[in-house]
Amino acid sequence: MHPADIKPTIADESAPTTRCRIMATASTFFHEIGYQKTTVADIARALKMSPANVYRFFDSKKAINEAVLERLIGEVEAMLIAIAERPGQTPTERLVAAIHALHRHGMERYERYPRIHEMVEAAMAESWDVCSEHVAKLTAVLERIIRDGVREGEFATSDPAAAAGCIHVGIARYTHPLLVGQPLQPPIPPLETMIAFLLRSLARP
C-alpha cells in the first residue's frame, strides 16, 4: 500500500491531533522552503497522507497559514499578558518591558526564521482579518497597562485605547515583521530614544 493511500481514521479525539500534525509539518515547510514554494501535496506527503485528507482539515494552504500564524500570535499575546500582569513593576516599567519584548521577539523570530516574512506577507494579502485581530489583541494589552498607569497617576490621557494604538503603531519600525529585519542604525533612533519620546506623550502635564 502506498503511504499516501493510508487514510487515518478520523475519530473525534484524533481530529485535533491530526490538525496539529498538519500545522506542525506545514510550519516546518514554510520556515524551511518558504510559504510560496510549499504545496499542500508536500505537506500531505511528509505526513504520509493524501492531499484530500489534508483538505478535510484545512480547505486551503491559506487556511493552514492562518492556523500556523494564529498559534504564533497566541504565543506573542501570552508573552505580553505576562508582562502586563507582572507584580511589583510600575505601569511605566511594564509598558517599556512590553515594547522591548515585542522588539526582541520580532528580531529573534526574524533571525531564526527569515522566511516568516513570506508567511506574514501572504497573510497580509490573503488573510487581513487574522493580521488585524492580532494587532487589536496586542494593542488591547498595551491599553491595559496604560489604564493602570492612568489610574495610578503615572500617565495622563483621555483616551487610553487611542494612546495604546499610537504607541503600538509608533514602534512599527522596531517590531513589524516586515521591517524588523532592517538595520537599526542612525538615522533610525535607538529604540530607547523612541520609547522616551512616546512616553513623553503620555506624561502628566
For 107-119, give one letter per residue: b (16+ CB within 10 A) or e.
Answer: eebbeebebbbbb
Task: Please report, as residue ranges, which positions from 99 to 138 form the binding site for its own copies (by CB under 8 A).
Answer: 124, 128, 132, 135-136
Residue 125: CB minimum distance to its own copies, A: 10
- Measured CA to CA, the distance from residue 195 to residue 13 in angstroms comes to 47
CB of 182 to its own copies, least distance (A): 6
107 Cβ contact partners less than 8 Å away, ≥ 6 residues apart? 180
Q: Which stretch binds its own copies (CB under 8 A): 14-22, 74-82, 84-92, 181-189?
A: 181-189
Cα-to-chain-centroid distance, residue 146: 21
Of 105 and 173, which has the nearer Cβ to its own copies?
Answer: 173
Q: Closest separation between CB of residue 21 and its own copies, Å?
A: 32
| Contact by Cβ (8 Å): 109, 118 | no
Query: Among candidates 98, 107, 110, 105, which has minimal Cα distance to 198?
Result: 98
Least separation, in Å, of the C-beta of 105 and its own copies? 18
Residues that bind its own copies (CB under 8 A): 124, 128, 132, 135-136, 139, 162-163, 165-166, 168-170, 172-173, 176, 178-179, 182-183, 185-189, 193-194, 197-198, 200-201, 205
